[in-house]
Chain A
Amino acid sequence: MLDALGIASVDELFKDIPESVRINGLTLPAGISEAEVVAKVRKVLGANKTPEKLPSFLGAGIYDHFIPAAVRAIQSRSEFYTSYTPYQPEISQGVLQALFEYQSMMCELTGMDAANTSMYDWATALGEAALMAHRIHGGKEFVVGRAMGRERLQVLRSYASGVGLKIKMVEFDANTGQLDLDMLKSQVGPDTCGVYFENPNFFGVFEEKVDEIRSLVPSVLVVGANPLSLAITKPPGEYGADIVIGEGQGLGNPPSYGGPLLGVFAVKKEHIRAMPGRIIGMTNDAKGKRAFCMTLQTREQHIRRQKATSNICTNEALVSIASTAYIAVLGGRGLRKLAVENMTAARDLARNINHLRRFKAPMFKSAHFNEFTVRSKIPYSRVHRELLRRGLHGGLSLEDRFPELGHVALFATTDVHGENERERIIKALGAIE
């Protein structure tokens, strides 16, 4: 190739980089063999404790569900995972159909008409939903229920800062853990572009007065949900949500220390042109065969630039495909059974913990999905250390997030727990002095 280019060395191809900015190679160590890298990375990662060694009751939006091997087999098809965004539909029909099926599944779960192929995670989906509510309504205030993850609120603030959206909070009822409707009434006004609440909320509590909430929201209603819960609960589309978001990681994807995740984003038909992100549509090819392609691209950054609905380009498409495969493998019936099992297991675990002398669970008098609050009579940090010492990882401490609740932690249980793990945690909590 050098001969064809008429040059003696590859250095001549870099002669346009001025001496004043040149560096002479990188200061990183020299490369090592694949075997050496594998050994090294395994050693580094070996310092992590997985649930196999340390059963964990953490949730807070990220759930460790059992993943059937077929899901990984499908996701590992390299035509899927080594492909780029399907800009050329003729050669990408498989990826496009899989993503269309993903959108369709999210629509069925949420009761919405349209979904995009993904946002980065639940938190950025919330940020984008707030911006979209602002685009639709024009108001400069966005009202949110406080019973949500701190991380989501922080990301929402980052996204809202650009257009100067003001975030207003609505407290939860101290007794039920549900949205304080009187406060919602007082926080909503003519400049409110949208209202956001979670169902189930951060405490695992179901909001039951959904029709009343809808009636109090004069603008865009955004609902956040664990998609698994939607297999057995009323889809937010049926109680008037305009946008439904959530974290799709739990649908067939491991926690991966918090990423990659899957921001679910679904909307009502009248809002599709205000949506962010990639969207797949059904159409025909030149011979009249059914075909799929990316559509409504005039909303997107590569066409509309600064007038785009979002800057998102790379998203989480492979996670969406894995979630589609997961739902397909479980089937609609399997998904409902799983949701019932998780909810029942959480209810039973809470009851058993509640029988212990030093603990109350759940602290809110409401129906819960797959997680619940545990209040202890001693600082939770001590409980946490005691559990670690016994080879168990308890729930997430809420002492710094919701200091007014006292010594409280959020516990989740999923299908990766057997009776053994649940019995161990009950026993360990019971043994704490």
Chain B
Amino acid sequence: MKYRQAYFDEPLLFEKFDGETEPLPEGLVPKALERKSLELPNIPENDVVRHFVRLSEMSFGIDTGFYPLGSCTMKYNPKFTEELAALPEASRIHPCQDESTVQGALRLMYELQQMLRSIAGMDAVTLQPAAGAAGEFTGLLLAKAYHEDRGEQRTQVIVPDTAHGTNFASAAMAGYEVVEIPSKEGLVDLDALKTALNSKTLAFMLTNPNTLGIFEPEILEIADTVHDSGALIYYDGANLNAIMGKTSPGRMNFDIVHFNLHKTFATPHGGGGPGAGPVGVKEPLESYLPVPAIRQDGNEFKLDYDKPKTIGKVHSWYGNFGMFVRAYAYILRMGGDGLTKASERAVLNANYLRFRLQKVLDLPYQELRKHEFVLSCAKLKERGLRAADVAKRLMDFGFHPPTVYFPHLVDEALMIEPTETESKETLDSFADAIDEILAESPDVLKSAPHNTAVSRVDEVLAARNPILSWRMWQEQKKAGGEKPQ
């Protein structure tokens, strides 16, 4: 399928500012604080709507086309969950309302926690973290509280080289030294792990299947080894979509896990967010979970702040409730059987696409993958091409490119995760497009994309000469010099 994205030479809203500022009534705002002018545009509603509709046409969502962004689980976002989250009973309730007036919200959160507990095989869940990285940070604070409660000061977090970048950053933000261990044949090197582990280790962070899409078969030995040193083992739930109903983090002896509701449980990603990153723990860590906990007392639900050992809070209120409504409805719709089938189909789709593409690009490490796989474009270098060139050219065929240059241990990586909600026809058309692209002249790829709203964007200029707002741009224009159109 060839694709042609819309292009509008759409001005910035600020370019329509009419110079008008609404006057303030006398004596309302204290003199010392009175604001004289506000340079925000005044535009008829019809034109505002057209502006944003045009911008939306210069954007690409799952509803536009295939979006095989590895590790991001871009599955179809059901429409009925959007309608439910928009109901006034979900959207217009205030977080400080008397508990007796929000029993529905509390019940929904309580039941969602039970569902997630059961899917992950954990003992307790908090919904509070607003995203996966916030879940990681929360998990590490829990591990810290757990160890400190036992009189232990631990200072290091071990992360494999295949881990998501957030693992490293979350560990650093929680105040820990990051110890990176190299993998062996795309898997955790048990010897390297043993060498890295010591009495200073707080936790080992792992995703299973890992970012190559390979399941770590020695997971129980890994968990035992970590536990033997007194450390905890953390499950990065970004790849949970591969294993529902087949195994669980709990069964693999993980102590802490975060979920990404915006991946596994089909809540939309909104051009970057909001997501939701609930955290599940085994019983010994339950008392440290953030406040408030949600308790069931007969037929009534309550917020419980009386948790003396809690780590405190990681979000103003209870987390991204709007996402809870969507995920809850999705899980009810799918059921235990449906979620298991979703993982089966996600893995089948990934392996089918892997089978088609390993004929034309290199597949490092073993063949069998779970929900995603990583190809190397290294051999294209002899034609002067890189992974990015293939990625950019894919857009001309109406596909969002896969994740590129990650994980770092694969040279010129393309990381592909099709998800369960794509048909064989779509997978075939994507593989056909890659076949066709690889047969094209290098010049066509290097100058791609050709059919998107704009051609290749100068990211180097953007970083060298940052223009981050209308205000900064106006200043630059005044100062002259290097500037965009």
Contact = CB atoms under 8 A, between A and B. Distances in A.
A89 interface: yes
A340 to B, nearest CB: 6
Contacts of A5: 351-352, 355
Contact of B89 (A46, A68, A340): A46
Contacts of A15: 368
Contact of A88 (B77, B355, B401, B485): B401
Contacts of A157: 312
B190 interface: no
Given A158-B313, A257-B321, A260-B322, A333 B20 contact: yes
B82 interface: yes
Contacts of A122: 316
B468 A295 contact: yes
Given A101-B13, A289-B454, A84 B69 contact: yes
Interface residues of A, number: 189
Contact of A97 (B12, B84, B325, B339): B12
A94 B61 contact: no
Interface stretch (B101-109, B191-199, B375-383, B433-441): B101-109
A414 to B, nearest CB: 11
A81 B14 contact: no
B237 to A, nearest CB: 13
Contacts, number: 661
A74 interface: yes
B160 interface: no
Nearest to B312: A154
A257 B88 CA distance: 11
B444 interface: no
Given A21-B220, A328-B48, 5 more contacts: A76-B82, A93-B454, A106-B469, A285-B455, A336-B38
A8 interface: no
Interface centre among A101, A335, A343, A347 (most CB of B within 10 A): A101
27 contacts: A13-B344, A13-B368, A14-B347, A17-B243, A26-B336, A28-B118, A33-B333, A34-B78, A47-B107, A48-B93, A50-B93, A62-B96, A64-B92, A77-B52, A83-B61, A84-B72, A90-B449, A106-B469, A115-B469, A123-B316, A151-B313, A259-B130, A260-B322, A301-B169, A318-B273, A324-B13, A336-B22
B94 A28 contact: no
Interface string A25-52: 1111111111001101110111111111
A257 B311 CA distance: 22
Interface in B215-262: 215, 217, 219-220, 243-248, 251-252, 260, 262
Contact of A234 (B35, B171, B322): B35
Nearest to B24: A232
Contacts of A105: 40
A15 B25 CA distance: 73
Interface string A254-272: 1111111100000001001
A45 B89 contact: yes
B468 A279 contact: yes
B123 interface: no
Contacts of B32: 208-210, 234
